[in-house]
Amino acid sequence: MLVLVLIAVLPLHNYYRLDVMGQPARLLKAVLPVAGVFVTWDIAATAAGQWQFDPAQTFAGRLWGLPLEEYAFFVVIPFAGILTLEAVTAARARRNKS
Amino acid sequence: MNAYTVAAALAVLVAISADLFVLHTALVRSLTWWMAYGIILFFQLLTNGWLTGRGIVRYNDAAIVGSERAVLFGDGRIAYAPVEDLAFGFALVLISCAVWVWTGTRTGSSQ
Q: What is the pLDDT of residues A19-71, one digit of tens each?
A: 999 999 999 999 999 999 999 999 999 999 999 999 999 999 999 999 999 99
Q: Is the distance from CB of B11 to CB of B91 less than 8 angstroms?
A: yes
Q: What interhelical angle do B3-17 and A24-47 show, nearest 10?
A: 160
Gap between the Cα atoms of B89 and A73, Å rounded? 11
Sign of CA dihedral B99, A6, B48, B31: positive
Q: How far from chain centre, in Å, is Cα A44? A: 20
Q: What is the pLDDT of residue B110?
A: 43
Confidence of residue B1 (pLDDT cuts 50, 70, 90): confident
Q: Does A77 contact chain B (CB < 8 Å)?
A: yes
Q: Is the distance from CB of A20 to CB of A86 less than 8 angstroms?
A: yes
Check residues B105 and B84 and name the one with the higher pLDDT: B84
Length of chain A: 98
Confidence of residue B106 (pLDDT cuts 50, 70, 90): low
Its ipTM equals 0.94
| Inter-chain touch A45–B54, beta carbons under 8 Å | no
Q: What is the pTM of this model?
A: 0.94
- What count of other Cβ atoms lies within 10 Å of the Cβ of residue B38? 11
Rg (CA), chain A: 17
| Inter-chain touch B36–A48, beta carbons under 8 Å | no
Confidence of residue B107 (pLDDT cuts 50, 70, 90): low
pLDDT digits (tens, 9 = 90+) for A72-83: 999 999 999 999
Q: Does B16 contact chain A (CB < 8 Å)?
A: no
**Measuring CA to CA, which residue among A85, A95, A38 is closest to residue B110?**
A85
Q: Which residues of B touch A85 (CB under 8 A)?
A: 27, 32-33, 36, 97, 100-101
Gap between the Cα atoms of A34 and A55, Å rounded? 27
Q: Which residues of B touch A29 (CB under 8 A)?
A: 99, 103
Q: What is the pLDDT of residue B111?
A: 43
User: Which residues, numbered 40 to 79 in chain B, qualify as contacts with chain A under a Cβ-Cβ cut-off of 8 Å?
Assistant: 40, 43, 47, 50-51, 54-60, 62-64
- Closest Cβ–Cβ partner in B56, B62, B63 for A53: B56
Shortest distance, CA A65 to any CA of chain B (angstroms): 13
pLDDT digits (tens, 9 = 90+) for B9-46: 999 999 999 999 999 999 999 999 999 999 999 999 99
Q: Which residues of A touch B97 (CB under 8 A)?
A: 30, 78, 81-82, 85
Q: For residue A13, which amino acid is it?
A: H
